[in-house]
Amino acid sequence: MRNLHAILEEFLRNVSTEDSIKVFRGLHNQKNVSEFKLAEDLRLNINTVRNILYSLHAHNLVYSVRKKDKEKGWYIYYWTFNMNYAKELLLKRKNERLKELKHILTEQETKNFFKCPDNHVRAKLEEAMEHDFKCVDCGKLLIEENKEKSIAEIKEEIGLIEKDITEIENFKIEVIEEEAKPNKAKKKAAKKKKIAKKKPKKKIKKKTPQPEKIVKKSKIKPKIKKEHSKGSILKKIKKKVKRLGF
């Protein structure tokens, strides 16, 4: 069974370059790694490292903070790999692929497919019949696809994906914390408390007309026609109430 890192590295290879795996390994289990230190550690050009970081950033897989270098006066970016998001993203992709494969499997199990011996076309029975079981490309006679073989292949891939999903779901991400910042945390907590206290005070007193009075006034005019909708009656009542100065 593949572990999460193997699954993730395969994914990184697809969305970025082969070197992105090195960058991932360089950032892994660390927080706020200077891009210069990263380039040095990986023996890669700073621009190569930056380009990889930007491509990973486009997928939300890394994030950065910038700090001013007091001596040189310029800004340096410090990067962290977003493991939580990576896990989420992998799960999403794997589940999408699983759904897709299950759909293909059902199709495969319930329908017959015909294909050109030279693999030009692949068609369902109805489509193959329309063309007299001949390849539209080369004219060769179509042959029935070996169902058992393709079903077995799909089932195998489904099995692998399900294993990957279990692995991803069970993977516990190590929390890498920098020095704790108790002051900030306390301030945040205090702010939350304040908001929580304030909220119940905001009881909005609705200035709705007293329903009793409306009922009474409506009794003054009992000649309301039946075909009037409730809305129009209410409008009339409201007008009357307004005129009477309520």
CB of 129 to Zn ion, least distance (A): 17
State how far Cα 235 lies from the chain centre: 48
DSSP state of 228: S
Residue whose pair of structure tokens reads 């409306």 in the numeric block: 214
- Residues 118-147, interacting with Zn ion (CB under 5 A): 118, 120, 135, 137-138, 140
Please give the single-letter amino acid code of residue 23: V
**In whole angstroms, what is the distance from residue 95 CA to residue 110 CA?**
23
Nearer to Zn ion, 140 or 217 (CB): 140
Nearer to Zn ion, 89 or 121 (CB): 121
Interface segment toward Zn ion; rule CB under 5 A; list 9-17, 74-82, 92-100, 109-117 = 109-117
Binding mask 146-185 for Zn ion (x = CB under 5 A): ----------------------------------------
Residue pair 167/10 in contact (Cβ under 8 Å)? The answer is no
CB of 112 to Zn ion, least distance (A): 18
Interface segment toward Zn ion; rule CB under 5 A; list 8-16, 115-123, 201-209, 236-244 = 115-123
CB of 125 to Zn ion, least distance (A): 17
- The per-residue b/e assignment along 5-30, b for 16 or more CB within 10 angstroms, e otherwise, is eebbbebbeeebeebbbbbbebbeee
CB of 130 to Zn ion, least distance (A): 16
State how far Cα 37 lies from the chain centre: 32
Residue whose pair of structure tokens reads 């699983």 in the numeric block: 98
Nearer to Zn ion, 6 or 143 (CB): 143
**Which own/partner pairs from 174-178 qualify as long-range (CB within 8 Å, at least 24 positions apart)?**
174/29, 176/29, 176/30, 176/31, 177/31, 178/31, 178/32
Nearer to Zn ion, 24 or 114 (CB): 114
Nearer to Zn ion, 25 or 120 (CB): 120
Binding residues for Zn ion, rule: CB under 5 A, are 116, 118, 120, 135, 137-138, 140
